[in-house]
Each structure stands twice: as C-alpha cells, then as structure tokens.
Amino acid sequence: MRQKRNHTMLDLKRKKPLPQPSRHRLRRESGSQQSDRCSSDNQEALQLPLKSQHMLVCYLQQYLEGICYEFGKKAMLEALEKHGWDCAEAAQLESWMEEFIRRAIYFKDVIDEEAAVGLFRSVADIQRAAVCRVRIDPAGIKKFLLDAVRLTQILRVGDSHMVMDVFRTDIERTLDRLREDEDHIPLPCSLRLKVFASAASLRYQDY
C-alpha cells in the first residue's frame, strides 16, 4: 500500500497545470472574432434584396436570349430549324449555351476554345439564378455582368456589346456607391429603383 501511495504522489508531482492563454492573446482572438462577424454582417447587409436581384437576372437572361437568337439567325440557321426556334422566346439561355459549347471551336478567332466553354457554362448560371432564386453576393452579380459583356463581345450582334458594357458599369457603380453610403441611402429602395431603370433599357430590340 505504501509503495502504491508513493507512486501516486510522484505522478501528481509530474503533472503540470495546463498553460492559460494570456490576456493579450484573449483580447486579440476576441477582436479577430468580432472583426469576422462584422465583415460577415456587412457582406449580408450589402447583398441585393432578392426582389431586385431577381429582376436584374431575369432582364439579363431575356436580353441575352434575344442576342443569341439574332446571332443564330445569321450563323446557326440549322440549329434554329432543328429545334424549331422561330423567335427569341423559343429557346432558353441555357439551351443556347449548350449549342455554343458544341460549337466552341467556331469562336477560336476571338476566344480560346477552353475559355469559351468556361464562359458559356458561366453564362448558363444566369438562368439558373433566375429560375432557382439563388441569392447572389455583389461579387457574383459583377461576374454575371462581366460574363454577359464577354458573350456580347464574342457574338458581335449590333451594338449589344456597348449596351451591355454601359449596363454593367452602371450597376457596378450603384453597388459601390451604396456600399460607401449605406448609412445615407436606403439600400432596398435605392437598388430597386436603380436596377429597374437600368434593366429596362436592356429590353430586347430587333437588330
């Protein structure tokens, strides 16, 4: 019994208390966590209201479908006849992108084949966002707009590239301005009005 008790006391002596974090470290970690929470809260606050976002991506989808149809009438008549696409409303944006992916090599004069496939897949996501009502952060909105500009640049239909580029710049400026002045400008109301006014200018027109 004595040997066992001595052994136990030796074990207790060997065990050292766990080091406690310093106050400086606790303050630093707490500050970091608060900063992360603030960044997350700010990002959420800057997100477009779903109504405004949905209006934007729907107009974007509609406009691009019209551009694709005009391009198809000049360069893809066989596809139009095969699918019975006799107007811009006959084919979804995603269907157009599938056709373009099959013909990606045809655009090699203006874009690399692999890059073209990536672009077409990304543009198809615009329709998915419109249909599935997926919430998109400002960076995602800007990417959609840039992809739309690149698509119109490749298709070269009328002045669609210029129109889309102006639209992209206008929406990006709105997002940036509201981020800087979010305490001054009511976010939901301002964005709804601005997006509606800008998107209205993109309604499909015959070329």
Judged by average pLDDT, the poorest of 75-79, 133-137, 142-146 is 133-137
Structure tokens given for 77 = 């008549």
Mean of pLDDT over the chain? 78
**Structure confidence at residue 181 as a pLDDT band (50, 70, 90):** low
**Letter for the amino acid at 201?**
S
**Rounded to whole angstroms, how far apart are CA atoms 26 and 101?**
54
| Residue 187 predicted with pLDDT over 80 | no
* pLDDT tens, position by position, 146-162: 999 999 999 999 999 99
Give me the mean pLDDT over the 139-146 stretch: 95
* pLDDT tens, position by position, 109-129: 999 999 999 999 999 999 999
CB neighbour class for 207 (10 Å; exposed up to 12, middle 13-18, buried from 19) = middle
* pLDDT tens, position by position, 192-205: 556 655 665 555 55
Judged by average pLDDT, the poorest of 13-17, 36-40, 48-52, 168-172 is 36-40
* pLDDT tens, position by position, 46-97: 677 888 889 899 999 999 999 999 999 999 999 999 999 999 999 999 999 9
**Rounded to whole angstroms, how far apart are CA atoms 192 and 196?**
6
pTM to 2 decimal places: 0.71
**Structure confidence at residue 100 as a pLDDT band (50, 70, 90):** very high
| 104 neighbors 71 (Cβ within 8 angstroms) | no
| Residue 2 predicted with pLDDT over 70 | no
